[in-house]
Each structure stands twice: as C-alpha cells, then as structure tokens.
Amino acid sequence: MLEAERFSRKEFEILINILKERNKTELKHLDFKYYSERRLSLFKKEKLSCIKNQDFEAAARFRIMEKECNSYITLRTEYNLQKSTFYHDQEYLFYFNLGTARNDKKAKVYFKKLM
C-alpha cells in the first residue's frame, strides 16, 4: 500500500477501521523521518544557542526534544528499520514512517486522522 501506484484513502481507512473496531487495535505513528540525525543536530545547536543567550527555559525545551530525537534514532538503529512500513503486534498497529515510501505523505495524514 505504501508503494502502490494508486493510494486509495477509502481502502486505507476501511482497513484501519477494521483493525481498530474488530481487534481493538490502537494506532501508533512513529515519525522517524522527523526525528532524524539532522533534526537532532538542529536541536543541539538551538539548545547551545539558548544557553549562550541565558534562555535556560528554552534550552530545557530543546534538551527534551533532543532526548526524544535520540530515542527515535536508537529505536530505528536497534531494529534496523530502513524503510517505511506497518507492523501489527497484539493490540497495536505501528506505522514506522521513515519517509522512504512513495505514499508516506498521504499515509501519514490519513493515519493521524484515524488515531
């Protein structure tokens, strides 16, 4: 579905709703594209800039974002995730978005709406 020539929002929503309703599946979106090494570098730079300007409250917010980004990078590395995919595990349906699939943008929008 993520690599299909034609992405059907209707079919996608039907499949997700079946999982949610029949199996009591909870949806989880993990946006590895957003929480990337590039973003981590940006957060670090912003944090250091805030410290230099003695804006410690803003620096603390960037430190939190930096930690969250690190946790995504660690998870992606630990499980050797290299492409966007869906993964169903017991009561969860995970959407691992790495920005590598043709239909990632559409899937991300629709998936988040259904959460």
Q: What is the mean pLDDT of residues 55-79?
A: 97
**pLDDT, tens digit, for every residue of 74-95?**
999 999 999 999 998 888 999 9
CA dihedral sign, ordered 38, 3, 77, 35: positive
Give yes or no: residues 28 and 43 share one domain.
no
**pLDDT, tens digit, for every residue of 3-59?**
877 888 888 888 888 888 888 889 999 999 999 999 999 999 999 999 999 999 999
Give yes or no: residues 27 and 47 share one domain.
no
Report yes or no on 1 lying in a domain.
Answer: no
Band (72; pLDDT cuts 50, 70, 90)? very high
Give yes or no: residues 71 and 51 share one domain.
yes
Contact 32, 81 (CB under 8 A): yes
Q: What is the DSSP letter of 103?
A: T
Return the pLDDT at 21.
Answer: 85
54 dihedral zone (left: phi>0; alpha: psi -120 to 50; beta): left
- Specify the pTM: 0.83
Return the pLDDT at 98.
Answer: 95
Report yes or no on 3 lying in a domain.
Answer: no
Give residue 21's domain range: 8-32+83-115
Give yes or no: residues 25 and 40 share one domain.
no
Report yes or no on 52 lying in a domain.
Answer: yes
**Total domains in the fold of the chain:** 2
What is the enclosing helix (H) or strand (E) of 86?
Answer: strand 85-89
Closest of 96, 61, 49, 92 to residue 75, by C-alpha: 96
Report yes or no on 39 lying in a domain.
Answer: yes
Q: What is the DSSP letter of 34?
A: T
Give yes or no: residues 28 and 65 share one domain.
no
Return the pLDDT at 36.
Answer: 96
| 2: amino acid identity, one letter | L
Report yes or no on 58 lying in a domain.
Answer: yes
